């Protein structure tokens, strides 16, 4: 297992009291380093503009990277940038690109990107929902265009639907997007009838849903769809805000639910993708849950 991070991801500051804060990543890093002291950490490189432009408009890339920031730049009521945010966003997206390159080599099969800001809400043209660049989408496009893959899946278990990832690939049958998420909840998308060109699979969960509903959604709806797709690479949007302790949502999952699903995704990757799997941190706003769930996730992936 390779692990990617960068100190710049700790410097991104969305404002005092914002739930998407540096302490989130600190909690993950401390927990993972304590649980897996011998694992291989690598410094996340910057994503190139060419990699970003595969999934984002030039206007968005230039706004996020080239706008002078004096104090804080507010993109919407939930999403803001500080002076250090462009570097953090470049490193977060670059981690996904580097991780894909690593697992496509003969030496490694799995990687986890412990980065922030998260990305899966950002559409091609709009940064939103705490997200700047859509890092998992950048990674998927890199796998398609740089490595020639024809079937890449993004499995997203964040409690919020990854509307950006869905929007970017809704008309590209080389990338499948599969998501469980609470509904109703921000961003109020991800219904089962949103199917794209047959490459989208959404399993909404009602507020208060727990382990049984979550595992049913994946075991009986989403995993069979991914299995039929036969992905050559599995990408994971790993958000842990469905945990019962999370303050921003109303699911009641446990760390063991993430361990179970992670093991299922790893097994699927072994069947179809020679084990190749890259996971990127998305949401999760309880520090205690982040610590427990990130370790459970990596335990599940690594067996």
DSSP assignment letter at 253: B
The helix/strand/coil state of 209 is: coil
**Known catalytic residue: 121?**
yes
Whole-number Å distance between alpha carbons of 235 and 242: 19
Confirm if 90 and 38 have CB atoms less than 8 A apart: no
CB neighbours of residue 42 within 10 Å = 16
Q: Which residues contact 285 (CB under 8 A, 6 or more apart)?
A: 19, 20, 24, 241, 246, 247, 248
263: nearest Cα among 213, 299, 236: 299
Cα-trace Rg, the chain: 17
DSSP assignment letter at 243: B
CB neighbours of residue 222 within 10 Å = 23
Whole-number Å distance between alpha carbons of 277 and 38: 20
CB neighbours of residue 84 within 10 Å = 15
The helix/strand/coil state of 5 is: strand
Whole-number Å distance between alpha carbons of 189 and 168: 14
Confirm if 246 and 289 have CB atoms less than 8 A apart: yes
Catalytic pick from 56, 121, 181, 243? 121
- Active-site residue list: 121
């Amino acid at each position: 297992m390779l692990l990617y991070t960068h100190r710049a991801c700790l410097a991104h500051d969305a404002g005092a009291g914002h739930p998407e804060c540096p302490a989130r990543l600190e909690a993950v890093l401390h927990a993972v380093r304590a649980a897996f002291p011998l694992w291989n950490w690598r410094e996340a490189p910057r994503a190139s503009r060419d990699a970003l432009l595969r999934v984002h408009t030039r206007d968005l890339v230039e706004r996020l990277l080239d706008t002078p920031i004096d104090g804080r730049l507010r993109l919407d009521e939930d999403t803001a940038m500080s002076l250090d945010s462009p570097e953090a966003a470049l490193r977060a997206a670059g981690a996904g690109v580097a991780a894909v390159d690593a697992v496509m080599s003969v030496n490694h099969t799995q990687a986890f990107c412990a980065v922030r800001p998260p990305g899966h809400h950002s559409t091609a043209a709009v940064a939103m929902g705490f997200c700047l660049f859509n890092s998992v989408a950048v990674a998927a496009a890199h796998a398609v265009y740089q490595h020639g893959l024809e079937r890449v899946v993004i499995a997203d278990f964040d409690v919020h639907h990854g509307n950006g990832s869905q929007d970017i690939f809704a008309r590209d049958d080389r990338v499948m997007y599969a998501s469980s998420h609470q509904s109703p909840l921000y961003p109020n998308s991800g219904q089962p009838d949103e199917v794209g060109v047959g490459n989208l699979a959404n399993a909404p969960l009602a507020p208060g849903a727990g382990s049984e509903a979550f595992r049913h959604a994946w075991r009986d709806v989403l995993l069979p769809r991914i299995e039929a797709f036969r992905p050559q690479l599995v990408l994971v949007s790993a958000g842990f805000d469905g945990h019962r302790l999370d303050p921003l949502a109303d699911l009641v999952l446990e760390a063991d639910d993430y361990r179970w699903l992670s093991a299922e995704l790893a097994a699927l990757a072994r069947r179809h993708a020679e084990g190749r799997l890259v996971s990127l941190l998305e949401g999760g706003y309880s520090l205690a849950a982040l610590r427990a769930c990130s370790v459970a996730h990596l335990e599940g992936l690594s067996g």
